[in-house]
Amino acid sequence: MNSVNSTSIIKKIAYELGFQFCGISKAEFLAEESPRLEKWLKDSKHGKMAYMENHFDMRLDPRLLVPGAKSVVSLLYNYYPEQKQREDSFHVSKYAYGTDYHFVLKDKLKLFLERIRTEIGDVDGRVFVDSAPVMDKVWAKKSGLGWVGKHSNLIHPKKGSFFFIAELIIDLELEADGPIKDYCGTCTRCIDACPTDAIVEPYVVDGSKCISYLTIELKDEILPTEFSGKMKDWIFGCDICQDVCPWNRFSTPHAEPLFSSANGWLNYSKNDWKDLTDELFSNLFKNSAVKRTKKDGLMRNINFIQTKS
């Protein structure tokens, strides 16, 4: 089977599995990203996320992750919710409303690889969902699925940025798609709206200042005092830079039942959150990404907002 036919089959499978967009890149060394990543790490913009310093070479060359790799298949899966949280409460990032995306997408990707082997033949490779040193936004950009905006998120010109990105890195020669242009123009809404000034310059985010980092990744018992009064009621993640982005006026609700919150916490008041018990936390967020911060971490964030705002 030639590369054109294989490419067509792979994109057909992607859409049948519910991925909204699929793009393909040649598996090669990311020469342009190397100095950028090196500088970002050298400037400590990864905060206390020490794991970002690991596997530097693997982050830049997928062939070190998957020997014999020839193609990177990038996929976008919509998570924009139809129902939002009440405005006068503490906020959780939209990506965490339902079942943890790692579970949902990993199952789909395993099925994807099985179908490729059934319909094309003996194909070797691995699937990735934000769980290995893969620069997913860079690969999605290279494959024409959008451009990386000034807030460092991938933006699709027809559907915005509320997408999970996943990859298959496989040893199959495919027809590569090309990148599209950057349409951010002179807009600075994301930069202007960030309450912690985490977007230190267009296209560069200081992770150590990002509310998502502070509320999830940072494990310190107390959050840094420099962020007092700047958290804007976010207790798990943050969507501010995406919410203000003009391109997200094109976002449409997802069709994934597992991403919908069915246990009522979207309507929680601030008092409901403050009264959260260990048992209730475990029940509400059993299969949710929110469990990453644990109940103590969530209460740390709530207490910081309450005492420092």
Q: Which of 291, 270, 269 is nearest to 280 (CA)?
A: 291
| 109 lies in the same domain as 198 | no
Residue-wise pLDDT tens digits, 167-185 = 999 999 999 999 999 999 9
3-state secondary structure of 76: strand
Active site residue 107: no
| 130 lies in the same domain as 210 | no
Both tokens assigned to 223: 């959050």
Give me the domain span that covers residue 304.
189-248+261-308
Q: Which of 180, 164, 183, 165 is nearest to 247 (CA)?
A: 183
- In degrees and rounded to multiples of 5, residue 97 shows phi and psi of -65, -35
* Residue 54 Cα to chain centre, angstroms: 19
**170 and 116 Cβ atoms separated by less than 8 Å:** yes
Query: Domain end: 170, 200, 235, which one?
Result: 170
What's the pLDDT at 307?
A: 79
3-state secondary structure of 278: helix
Q: Is the dihedral of CA 63, 67, 68, 74 positive or negative?
A: negative
Residue-wise pLDDT tens digits, 107-126 = 999 999 999 999 999 999 99
Q: What is the mean pLDDT of the chain?
A: 95
Mean pLDDT of 28-46: 92
Kindly state whether residue 283 falls inside one of the protein's structural domains: yes
3-state secondary structure of 204: strand
| 211 lies in the same domain as 158 | no
Work out how many domains the chain is built from and give that number. Answer: 2
pTM of the model: 0.95
| 93 lies in the same domain as 164 | yes
- In degrees and rounded to multiples of 5, residue 109 shows phi and psi of -70, -35
What angle (nearest 5°) sits at the alpha carbon of residue 12, between those of residues 8 and 14? 120
Catalytic option among 61, 107, 124, 130:
130
| 138 lies in the same domain as 280 | no
- In degrees and rounded to multiples of 5, residue 208 shows phi and psi of -70, -10
Kindly state whether residue 35 falls inside one of the protein's structural domains: no
